[in-house]
Amino acid sequence: MTFKLFAATSTSIALMASAAAAQSDDEAMTDEQMTAADEADEVMFVEVYGEAVPDYVTASDAIGRMEAMGYTNIHNFDVEWGVYEVEAYAPDGNEVEIEFDPVSGAILEIEDNWL
């Protein structure tokens, strides 16, 4: 299962890389990039879980939830090990990196983005 998860995650990262390729570091995601991210997360879940795909939060829904919490300029969307990662500006104006669990819908970690 570990190799299957790794391989599927690697495939999804490659798919999402094409969605983010035209995105500059601080530029918010376009609708086309969001559509590509949603398609890539679906591929990842099918590859990891087969026919037993759990309910999950799509990339665009996850970003919508973050925006509802006051995060802005969400950019650099990525999937690593089945977790969504984005960079964004927190309500206080600091740039942060957010890890979001697409199955539980929980924010796993928020840390300052020093890069």
pLDDT at 4: 47
pTM tops 0.85, yes or no: no
Rounded to whole angstroms, how far apart are CA atoms 103 and 111?
A: 21
pLDDT at 77: 87
Q: How far is CA 66 from the centre of its chain?
A: 11
- Return all residues near 31 (Cβ < 8 A) that are at least 6 apart: none
pLDDT at 42: 80
> What is the tens place of the pLDDT at every residue in 46-73?
887 788 888 888 889 999 999 999 999 9
Is 70 exceeded by the pLDDT of residue 20?
Answer: no
With both helix axes pointing from N to C terminus, report the angle between 31-49 and 2-20 in degrees, rounded to the nearest 10: 170
> What is the tens place of the pLDDT at every residue in 30-45?
888 888 888 887 887 7
